[in-house]
Structure 1
Amino acid sequence: MGKTSKRYTDEYKNTIVELFNRGKTYSELNSEYGIPKTTMRQWVLKNKNKKDGTEAKEQNIKGILKKNVMLQEENEILKKALSIFAKEK
């Protein structure tokens, strides 16, 4: 007969990952919940990759916002300069 695999909900996976992040070891979690260590490692790595991508996106957004503010200031300076030079004619 074929081997059947258990299906875990995302909420359950996130709970296990959170417990690991708070200091529980894979061995402790395995003995308490009966989840294979390799499965938990995959969940933790997947969660870490998600966070890394999110942080990179947040930093990218912050950089874009800073550049936007700088460009708006430069635009205002150019508008003022244009109005000064337009009056001189």
Structure 2
Amino acid sequence: MSLQDQFDAAVAGSKQLPERPDNMTLLKLYALFKQGSSGDVEGSRPGFTDMVGRAKWDAWNELKGQSQDEAKQSYIDLIESLK
């Protein structure tokens, strides 16, 4: 099974976790998903009034420079640990 297939399976599995992860874990999942599927964050940081968008952007920006394959593997590992 290729890394991309495992990543796709983990994304599908993320919707069937036994319980909803806490907000920090959700942010980590979001950031790893975006880094794994899109690479480094692009665009400017959302404004102060968009607190959710800003938190997501910041979490994704923390992974800047990490390879997409590394991010995919980290995402897979995190989903497995939540099952």
Do the structures match in fold with TM over 0.5? Answer: no
Larger radius of gyration: 1
More relative contact order, 1 or 2 (CA 8 Å, 6+ apart): 2
* TM-score when normalising by structure 2: 0.26
* TM-score when normalising by structure 1: 0.25
